[in-house]
Amino acid sequence: MRALIQRVERASVEVDGREVGACGAGYLVLLGVGPTDTEDVAGRMWEKVRKLRICADEDGRTNLSLVDVGGSLLVVSQFTLYADARRGNRPSFTGAAPADVADRLYGLFCDLAERDLGTGRVGRGAFGAHMRVSLVNDGPFTVMLDSEELGL
């Protein structure tokens, strides 16, 4: 599982001109699911994101987590995080999980976030849809997490 986390002032996602998800100050998480990912990996990835200390404390240091600051979250499925462009100029996406697996684990990740943060603080994209994502990046501050590299 791969999560590209951007600290944002706000973010939203639209499908066919209609907003389907949004968040205020917090994180925009672009989430990609790999073919060997499991429910356990999704849970451990959520715990890593939830505890990640990339929010500023009163001294301006990145010492606080999303939970510490009462932040919100927008999670958007992003299979292209598994793009492989080692050969040629057209990326291959065969490293991403099949859609049914990815949809289930993306949903689980979002459900876990809602359990811990509350449904009013978690926005979702529309799995498999063509989406327009808008954000105001805070920092900018962007972190990439890969479950395999983290040993999750």
Q: Which residues are catalytic?
A: 78-80
Q: What is the DSSP letter of 14?
A: E
- Cα distance between residue 1 and residue 146, in whole Å: 6
What tokens appear for 52 in the block? 């990640």
Q: How far is CA 126 from CA 6, 57, 95, 101, 140, in A?
A: 19, 33, 21, 15, 25
Cα–Cα–Cα angle for 111, 114, 118, nearest 5°? 160
Residues 6+ apart with CB under 8 A from 131: 13, 14, 15, 20, 76, 125
